[in-house]
Structure 1
């Protein structure tokens, strides 16, 4: 295993174990998680592997096989920079929570497409948390690991994400999507067997890099928080009279509320279809989600819109952007016999505009974080 060889090369010893945490695709429920709403992600086959050993001091030594150069040594956690802050942040969050975690030697190897909106950062955080939980005998549940990983990203990295990405990485099951109530943290794994229905879920990686920490994501979150205060509710999840709420708002706040409230209803409707075995019928909900993200939440971009529109023209049963937005990936629900026509339609639409061809690949629901060796 490549990550084990790299660990030996970097630290001159065998790792105590190797763990893996996946990235995720969000089937539906976008920008609802930090509004105490509902989400429906599933884990993808790609993720981050970590070879890890504990240390007897408080130093963290890190190496990523996706970054050129030797291992990075971090004594003062606040001094960590760049990608290392995601891993070191988990050590910080564990210590802040009072867990007896000392140092660690860590080598990371990831195959989540970078910038595709498939949440490689959450996979990195969760795999480090999972390894340290086991090595230090902390006894944390998968959800507790997810929450500490979220704290690392929120408070150490400075990215105000919700709980969805980390929970999906920690809790998903193969062949199922994870229904998560972001207020109660209650979960249910919902059967999502595409192959049995003659379907594939294609990911269209636009290749457009999105940097959510640039303020756009935080601005949307503030819009929602301000709207909730204006409406006198704890979170937008509590809005039950949408028409009445919209009548009290204007501008961006009005649009954000319309998206969040209707998106929560779409999640529940889609789960109803999956539980009824009507997987083929979810496409209209995917389409409606994309239009709402484009027009009401304003987090799409031309490359995502073209991918969605071309996929539908090519025969997809439904499509939408997935992830935080401003780039990244779209998903398309496609019957097996229409996969090539959808690929051709999207590729041709990009070529017409002089854009580089997007990467297009199927995603099957994979298992969540686990120990490999």
Structure 2
């Protein structure tokens, strides 16, 4: 990826202030290789940070105000530091602004810092991460903001704590009931590796992917069908999972295993059971993927990717025709495996493709969308990359 967004953030900051910038920070979006809707069920996930990043350029202010601006929005949103602790959850800011201001709010709330000791700031954002594509543009904003404020305000939080604060902003400030996978991937990402995350303990393991050495590319197929985690369908899926756990008398679906499914089916209505079955089988697929990557390498994970997509399509019912078409066309043209990624109801699919077959797969997907009279998809490759960092 180029760093045009980095330059855009600096340029935007220069339109806000003449002050000398304090620095620039960035954080990546993520692709979830496998493990969807398992995170808020205390389960297992296997995401990796991608080489598409959100940048924030920051300058000091002479007053006690924090102001945010984005290259993708015309409005500049501000609040006083004194008002920040009580700004959420009943704030009416534009959703994009609720992410960085929500992070600031969560950091002040968690640290207990006296806001009169903090310096006012201007923050200017620009991003390479597609919004609404299932690549967690929100976690990229949160990670960049949290990294910047942690350094500038000298709050001393480690990366896991910054991920927790990002999730708090998303859950409590924005109102999106997501888990912590996206924030952990964005904060902890490593080149050529995925992060195997136990969402209950927050223990992590770096899992080498080896895409480049195996001659593989990760193709992202953005359907351009937009979604939002703050809307009702995501909440309904989460509520179904909580209902299933209550029926089984457990704290979360993490506590169910494959051999519990027969009993669960007898106790639940059909829809609730299928939601639970997806989570249980998806947890097992994550464990299997980690083992297969270690023992056999990335060429051997195709069937797991396809089984994950089928489970999301049929049991969790979060796919859409565009995503199904993308997966089917990619695999028919020679992809090793493919699946939708992200929360669903739109967004992107991923396809693991031999580099020699990449153009063939891209052409097949584009042709399939034309034949189905869908809008044109956006196709690009991503590589497993570094997590949040200070750039300047």
TM-score range with shorter-chain normalisation? over 0.9
Give 1:9's aligned residue: 15
* The one of 11, 21, 24 aligned to 2:27: 21
Q: CA deviation at 1:365?
A: 0.2
TM-score relative to the length of structure 1: 0.97
Q: How does 1:111-190 map to 2 (within 5 A)?
A: 111-190=128-207
TM-score relative to the length of structure 2: 0.92
Task: Output the CA distance in 2 between the equivalents of 1:124 and 1:15.
Answer: 19
Give 2:368's aligned residue: 349
Q: Is it true that 1:274 corresponds to 2:280 in the alignment?
A: no
Q: CA deviation at 1:79?
A: 4.8
Q: CA deviation at 1:98?
A: 3.0
Unaligned regions of 5+ residues in structure 1, if any? none
Q: Which of 72-81 and 269-278 deviates more? A: 72-81
Question: Deviations for 1:13-40, whole angstroms, at most 9, x for unmatched residues?
Answer: 1211100000000000000000000000
Q: Is it true that 1:254 corresponds to 2:273 in the alignment?
A: yes
Q: CA deviation at 1:74?
A: 2.3
Residue aligned with 1:160, SS: coil
Residue aligned with 2:225, SS: coil
Q: CA deviation at 1:58?
A: 3.9
Residue aligned with 1:133, SS: helix
What do you get for the CA RMSD once the two structures are aligned?
Answer: 1.4
Task: Output the CA distance in 2 between the equivalents of 1:194 and 1:313.
Answer: 21
Give 1:85's aligned residue: 98
Q: Which of 230-239 and 53-62 deviates more? A: 53-62
Task: Output the CA distance in 1 between the equivalents of 2:368 and 2:133.
Answer: 19
Going from structure 1 to structure 2, the CA distance change for 1:81 and 1:336 (only over 3 Å counts) comes to closer
Q: Is it true that 1:109 corresponds to 2:126 in the alignment?
A: yes
Task: Output the CA distance in 2 between the equivalents of 1:293 and 1:327.
Answer: 12
Give 2:227's aligned residue: 210
Give 2:244's aligned residue: 227
Question: Deviations for 1:83-127, whole angstroms, at most 9, x for unmatched residues?
Answer: 111110011111211342544210111111122110111110111
Q: CA deviation at 1:274?
A: 1.0
Residue aligned with 1:83, SS: helix
Q: CA deviation at 1:54?
A: 4.6
Q: CA deviation at 1:152?
A: 0.7
Task: Output the CA distance in 1 between the equivalents of 2:299 and 2:21.
Answer: 45
How many matched pairs? 372
Q: CA deviation at 1:67?
A: 1.5
* The one of 50, 61, 64 aligned to 1:44: 50
